[in-house]
Structure 1
Amino acid sequence: MDLIGPIVDIIGPIGPSICNCLKYHIKLNEYLENLKRSQAELQSRIDDIELRIGNESRYGKTTKNEVENWLKTAKDIIAEVKHVEDKARMVKWISRSCLGKLADKKTQEVKEEYEKSMRSNFESLVVDAPSSGREELRAPKLVGERDVKQRIWKCLMEDDEVGKIGVCGMGA
Structure 2
Amino acid sequence: MEFIEPILGIFKCVCPTVCKYVQYHRKLNENVKNLERVLQEFNSQKEDIEATLKAEGDQGKKPRTEVKNWLQNVQRINSKAQSIEQEVKKRKYFLCARLGKDVDAKIQEMKDCHQKGCSFISLVIDAPPASGL
Alignment partner of 1:126 out of 124, 127, 131: 124
Bigger Rg over Cα: 1
Counting helix residues as a fraction of each chain, which structure ranks higher?
2
Instruction: Give TM-score, length-normalised by structure 2.
Output: 0.87
**How far does residue 47 in structure 1 lie from its aligned partner after superposition?**
0.2
Range moving further from structure 2, 11-20 or 41-50: 11-20
**How far does residue 10 in structure 1 lie from its aligned partner after superposition?**
4.0
CA distance in 1, matches of 2:35, 2:90: 17
Q: Which runs of 4+ in 1 moved over 6 A?
A: none
CA distance in 1, matches of 2:48, 2:59: 20
Aligned partner of 2:45 in structure 1 is 45
Note if 1:92 corresponds to 2:92.
Answer: yes
What root-mean-square deviation, in Å, do the aligned CA atoms of Structure 1 and Structure 2 show?
2.0
Instruction: Give the structure, 1 or 2, with the largest relative contact order (CA under 8 Å, sep 6 or more).
Output: 2
Counterpart amino acid of 1:117? G
**How far does residue 108 in structure 1 lie from its aligned partner after superposition?**
0.3
TM-aligned CA distance change 1:132 to 1:84, over 3 Å: farther
**How far does residue 59 in structure 1 lie from its aligned partner after superposition?**
3.1
Which blocks of at least 5 consecutive residues in structure 2 are unaligned? Answer: none
CA distance in 2, matches of 1:16, 1:87: 26
CA distance in 1, matches of 2:85, 2:10: 36
Counterpart amino acid of 2:86? D
**How far does residue 7 in structure 1 lie from its aligned partner after superposition?**
5.0
Range moving further from structure 2, 4-13 or 23-32: 4-13
CA distance in 1, matches of 2:10, 2:63: 58
Aligned partner of 2:69 in structure 1 is 69
TM-aligned CA distance change 1:128 to 1:10, over 3 Å: closer
CA distance in 2, matches of 1:9, 1:65: 51
CA distance in 2, matches of 1:128, 1:10: 61
CA distance in 1, matches of 2:45, 2:59: 24
Aligned partner of 1:157 in structure 2 is none
